[in-house]
Amino acid sequence: MTEAVLHSPSRHRRLAGQISLRLATFVVALLIVAVIAGPWIAPYDPNLVELSERLKSPSLAHWLGTDHLGRDILSRLIVGTRVSLGSVAITLAVILVLGITIGGASGFIGGRIDQIIMRVADIFLTFPTLVLALFMIGMLGTGLVNVIVAIALSHWAWYARIVRGIVLSLRHREFLLAARLAGASRMRAFVEHLLPATLSQLVVLATLDIGHMMLHVSGLSFLGLGVTAPTPEWGVMISDARQFVWNQPMLIFWPGLALFVSVMAFNILGDALRDRLDPHLRAEHVH
């Protein structure tokens, strides 16, 4: 340890950290409310076209203005949370299940199966993630479901490797041996004793990845490969607003800001979670 590493942050900065964590928690809570109750909170129907009201600047009736079809932007943002964030939640769940089963099997069974699984994972890791996701969408077709599958297929290998690493590091610990000696089957030892120990680290990693995944999903929607036109989704909204960049730039500003603030909130939360649950967890420590 060097003095640089031991140097503790100033009080001033710790306070700033606490405030930003509170804010981040608040933003995430808002997002969750919007995901669950979005259509009921939104002041207007997000797909209500009113051509007489098109491209209006913010007003009391439309707090953030209206888009090129006269639809209320605030309502579209609120309702869009469900697609933008919901799809990320599903993607992460799929990746976690894939990562835990494949990586867990690899680390727990070991031997030749481990070898084969890890070589396959290595192959998937030779692709840049977005290129692999694009390729998968090309093979499966466009659309939200296929985007979720594509992102899951392009990320599972990272998680499988991490889970395998954790499992290998725990495999010979006493509590596992004790469980086996007490008569637990291999499957039961894995599910009841190994999995909980792995899970806390995975939760941290997943929280840190939510922001990253949101950027992926909305980026693909922005390219027109994910969610398509009338559905309110932040990436689609940015893409729709491109043609009005010269006369109504705020159309691009709001959905981007929503995306940016949400990603930032999840990043802050993930960092805090890591510091609290698992201060030693760093990507490079996991092989």
Partner 1 sequence: MASFILKRILLLVPMLLGASLVIFLMLRLGPSNPAMDYLRLSRVPPTPQALEHTREMLGLDRPLAVQYFDWLGKAGRLDFGTSYALQRPVLPDLLHFLPATLQLAGAALALTFALSVPLGMLAARCRERWPDQAVRFLAFLGVSMPNFWLGFLLVLLFSVHLGWLPAMGRGGLAHIVMPAVAIAFMSLAINARLLRASMLEVAGQQHVRYARLRGLSERHVERSHVLRNAWLPIITAMGMHVGEMLGGTLIIESIFGWPGVGRYAISAIMNRDYPVIQCFTLVMVAVFLLCNLAVDILYALVDPRIRLSAEGQQ
Residues within window 131-160 making contact with partner 1, judged by CB under 8 A:
131-132, 134-142
Pattern 252-271, binding to partner 1, x per CB under 8 A?
Answer: xx--x--xx--xx--x----
Q: Of 57 and 185, which has the nearer Cβ to partner 1?
A: 57
What CA dihedral angle connects 153, 129, 219 and 145, to 10 degrees?
-10
Q: What share of the chain is helix, strand, coil (3-state, %, to 5)?
A: 75, 0, 25
177 and 239 Cβ atoms separated by less than 8 Å: no
| Smallest distance, partner 1 to C-beta of residue 127, A | 6
Residues paired with residue 205 on neighbouring β-strands, in sequence order: none
| Smallest distance, partner 1 to C-beta of residue 12, A | 10
| CA pair distance 195, 174, nearest whole angstrom | 15
Residues within window 98-117 making contact with partner 1, judged by CB under 8 A:
none
Coil, strand or helix at 261: helix
Determine the residue type at 147: V
Q: Of 132 and 152, which has the nearer Cβ to partner 1?
A: 132
Among the listed residues 19, 249, 275, 277, the single contact to partner 1 using CB under 8 A: 249
Q: Which residue has the tokens 């869009």?
A: 80
Residues lying near partner 1 in the complex (CB under 8 A): 2-5, 7, 10, 119, 122-124, 126-132, 134-142, 211, 215, 218-219, 222-225, 238, 242, 245-246, 249, 252-253, 256, 259-260, 263-264, 267
